[in-house]
């Protein structure tokens, strides 16, 4: 008979396989849609050419195959090998050995834990690097979206690694310390600490962290800036600053968002704006850049949608949901982290129960079924929020412009308009463009049709 640690390991592996088999199955359903779809949907025939449809189909197909390979290699093969070999336990043991050689105290769980976190960050980056390189310089390059040079990419990765270490090491040290001194209800103090850190990061990210990776410039004075301020004022949005981010140095994809907990910033990708938001005679504009982007009315429609998330309380609701989930995870951790078989299942000697390692295993593997369920529920909620924000933009008079913007963004990003219903329900936090256009049409007509086709 299997002992408790073996049962724990086999249960972890079984769920891992089950989840990834489901993901691959759903992706294969979508691959079948890519292969069988040969004509532009009638809703888009007036704006989408057969050539663009074919490019989007091939792009989606390439991304789907890449996704299947990534899942099978990273999430199945490598993870199963790590679990069977006790890789995480080996990293901990190596951290203890290294700490003794570099002047740290190998008996201090805080010091060893910080070294453990550093090594895991480094290993994680190295594991992901081949796939990042392929995705950026092969897949995205092939379809005309990559704008990064090798040097830009390398600097990005180094900055990400260093920033990750700077942020994660003090948090890891404080995490272990709180568990050690927090007593029976340490999970409450953990929750308070992580919540405070999260809110701090939300506050400082747009000011100090985001500019490390991208260049931001104030939106030039003119009609668009004036109308954005008028739109924000009409819904009483506390707009503090309005920026354009030079996303075109990284990718040709477009977006817009707002950030900040207290001082709100609206950020527009330069690829969203006509001529990247620059004068038509600007020397930095290439011929392919000129004339591309959304009109002022379409940009305002996109922002009206984003402001809908704020006005309807979606941002606050998401923060509350995340905090509740965080509390429940810490509560579960407090009940499970002393259970020896959890540690023995991943290769630790009997009796050794490092706090950080225990949290990693419990969070990643033991709570995996719960995390999967919550992820799906959050996807459902997110799709509902998107429809509500579209309706908010429609109430402000932007239904037609939002529909045009959605179509333009779909075309510019080579988004494929046809999706398998099961794949979309599981993977898409946003409804498909056809679903959103159909809902905007029914809202505009004062109707609320809930029937959705299975392939959309």
Closest-CA residue to 367 (of 16, 3, 7):
16
Catalytic residue (choose from 109, 140, 306, 344): 306
First vs last C-alpha separation in the chain: 49
Query: Contact, 219 vs 242, CB < 8 A?
Result: yes
Query: Contact, 29 vs 96, CB < 8 A?
Result: no
Closest-CA residue to 444 (of 301, 266, 270):
301
**φ, ψ at 264 (rounded to 5°):** -85, 135
Q: What is the CA radius of gyration of the chain?
A: 24
Does 306 qualify as catalytic in the annotation? yes
Closest-CA residue to 217 (of 148, 136, 282, 311):
282
- Separation CA 15–CA 24 (nearest Å): 14
Q: How many angstroms separate the most distant Cα atoms in the chain?
A: 77
Closest-CA residue to 427 (of 105, 107, 26, 33):
26
Strand, helix or coil for residue 243 = strand
Query: How big is the CA angle at 220 (ends 219 and 224), to the nearest 5 degrees?
Result: 80
Query: Contact, 261 vs 279, CB < 8 A?
Result: no
Q: Please give the positions annotated as active site.
A: 306
């Amino acid at each position: 008979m299997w002992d408790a640690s073996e049962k724990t390991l086999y249960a972890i592996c079984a769920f891992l396989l089950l989840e990834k088999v489901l993901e691959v199955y759903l992706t294969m359903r979508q691959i079948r849609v890519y292969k069988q779809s040969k004509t532009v949907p009638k809703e888009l025939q007036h704006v989408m050419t057969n050539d663009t449809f074919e490019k989007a189909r091939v792009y989606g197909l390439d991304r789907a195959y890449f996704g299947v390979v990534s899942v099978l290699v990273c999430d199945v093969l490598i993870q199963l090998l790590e679990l069977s070999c006790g890789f995480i336990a080996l990293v901990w043991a190596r951290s203890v050995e290294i700490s003794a050689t570099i002047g740290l105290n190998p008996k201090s769980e805080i010091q060893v834990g910080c070294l453990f976190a550093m090594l895991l960050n480094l290993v994680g980056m190295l594991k992901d690097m081949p796939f990042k390189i392929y995705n950026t310089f092969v897949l995205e390059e092939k379809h005309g979206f990559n704008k990064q040079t090798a040097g830009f990419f390398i600097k990005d990765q180094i900055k990400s690694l260093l920033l990750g270490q700077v942020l994660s090491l003090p948090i890891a040290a404080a995490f272990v310390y709180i568990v050690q001194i927090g007593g029976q209800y340490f999970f409450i103090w953990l929750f308070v600490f992580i919540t405070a850190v999260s809110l701090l990061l939300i506050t400082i990210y747009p000011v100090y962290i985001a500019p490390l990776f991208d260049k931001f410039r104030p939106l030039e004075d003119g009609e668009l800036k004036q109308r954005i301020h008028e739109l924000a004022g009409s819904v009483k949005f506390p707009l503090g600053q309005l920026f354009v981010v030079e996303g075109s140095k990284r990718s040709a994809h477009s977006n817009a968002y707002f950030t900040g907990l207290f001082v709100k910033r609206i950020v527009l990708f330069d690829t969203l704006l006509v001529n990247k938001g620059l004068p038509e005679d600007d020397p930095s504009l290439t011929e392919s850049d000129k004339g591309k982007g959304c009109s002022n009315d379409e940009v305002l429609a996109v922002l009206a949608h984003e402001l809908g998330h704020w006005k309807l309380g979606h941002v606050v609701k998401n923060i509350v949901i995340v905090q509740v989930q965080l509390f429940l995870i810490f509560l579960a951790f407090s009940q499970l982290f002393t259970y020896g078989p959890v540690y023995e299942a991943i290769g630790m000697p009997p009796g050794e129960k490092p706090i950080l390692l225990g949290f990693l295993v419990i969070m990643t593997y033991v709570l995996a079924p719960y995390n999967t369920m919550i992820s799906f529920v959050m996807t459902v909620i997110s799709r509902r929020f998107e429809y509500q924000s579209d309706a908010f933009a429609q109430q402000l008079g932007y239904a037609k412009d939002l529909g045009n913007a959605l179509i333009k963004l779909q075309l510019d990003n080579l988004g494929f308009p046809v999706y398998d219903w099961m794949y979309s329900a599981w993977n898409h936090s946003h409804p498909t463009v056809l679903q959103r256009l159909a809902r905007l049409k029914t809202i505009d007509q004062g109707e609320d049709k809930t029937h959705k086709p299975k392939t959309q």
